[in-house]
Amino acid sequence: MCKFCLKHGANGKWYLNAKNYLTKESEDFEQVRDYMEGLWGNMERLYMAKSGGARVSKALELAASPVIGAEVRKIFDEHIEKELHQNPDPRVAEGHFGQVIPLEEAKMITMDLADVNIKAMCHCKYNHRGIKQATCLGFTAVAEMLPKLPRYIPEKGVEILDADQVESFLENMNQKGMVHTVWAGPIPYIASICSCDHPNCIGLRMRLDFGVNAVLKGEYIATVDPNNCMGCKKCASRCQFGALHFSSVLNRPMIDVKKCFGCGLCKDSCEDNAIKLVDRELIPITRGKY
């Protein structure tokens, strides 16, 4: 389990702990709502924002440098890990990080744990290319502040999804090859479920291109059962993390467990049940590596 699970998970995964889902009655509600408004309202300028005198985009490039990279990444980690009681600064997305989850858990969260599911425009895709795509599902605090930020409301207007709509929405995103991620905002509360796409997701971009842990790996690892695989190659186009490639000699996919984020997209495309997700902790070399 990741370090946030140990702290906020109540012996389970932090994102499956009902305590981490905000309700309107919660005493932190107003503080979290204001935080979310600051976060979403300033997200377009995140790369260009200045934090400690340096632009975030420049700091990211330094984080990938071999000499001082480790120190810069440590500073980023401190920012990302700020909790609600430490008053995180929403304008530079302190206390806002994500974790990759498989489709089943995304459904579990949206249907059983979150009390409101509001459809929202993705601010990452907007930030990178100026395009608007409604690929995010916000929970209580997002639903409360979203009407104040009309640019994130889909064309049809504010849309609260019911259980069936949420299910088909998530399956649609999965079919398109988007990675499901759950986002903290701020820790320990869970703000939204997004459908992410490298490199137009700020979090995945930070993680994959610059090694900053803005998105944690999921709690699972994909494994292949060679006996079931028929060699259809459908999984080969699904991996965004460079962890899976199709070997024509073995006639089955090869998965690099060190790169696997456990998103389950390859598994969801498999019609022969040849790919399964196993717990990350069960494989010694991936244990504790998030």
d(CA 16, CA 223): 23
> Does 109 sit near other proteins (CB under 8 A)?
no
Single residue of 7, 82, 104, 126 touching other proteins by CB under 8 A: 126
Three-state secondary structure call for residue 99 = strand
Single residue of 18, 48, 70, 232 touching other proteins by CB under 8 A: 48
Single residue of 30, 148, 172, 199 touching other proteins by CB under 8 A: 199
Single residue of 10, 54, 57, 158 touching other proteins by CB under 8 A: 57
Single residue of 91, 128, 233, 276 touching other proteins by CB under 8 A: 128
> Does 7 sit near other proteins (CB under 8 A)?
no
Query: Judging by beta carbons within 10 Å of its beta carbon (0-12, 13-18, 19+), is residue 18 exposed, middle or buried?
Result: exposed
> Does 44 sit near other proteins (CB under 8 A)?
yes
Within residues 203-222, the interface with other proteins by CB under 8 A covers: 209
d(CA 184, CA 22): 11
d(CA 181, CA 199): 14
> Does 64 sit near other proteins (CB under 8 A)?
yes
Single residue of 3, 24, 45, 85 touching other proteins by CB under 8 A: 45
Binding residues for other proteins, total number by CB under 8 A: 17
DSSP code, position 178: P
> Does 245 sit near other proteins (CB under 8 A)?
no
d(CA 203, CA 161): 25
Helix/strand/coil (H/E/C) assignment for every residue in 65-96: CCCCHHHHHHHHHHHHCCEHHHCCCHHHCCCC
From the list 45-53, 99-107, 179-187, 222-230, the region that binds other proteins by CB under 8 A is 45-53
Closest to other proteins by CB, 65 vs 87, is 65
> With contact defined as beta carbons under 8 Å apart, do 188 and 176 qualify?
no
Within residues 136-155, the interface with other proteins by CB under 8 A covers: 151
DSSP code, position 198: T
> With contact defined as beta carbons under 8 Å apart, do 128 and 197 qualify?
no
Q: Which residues bind other proteins (CB under 8 A)?
A: 44-45, 47-48, 57, 60-61, 64, 126-130, 151, 199-200, 209
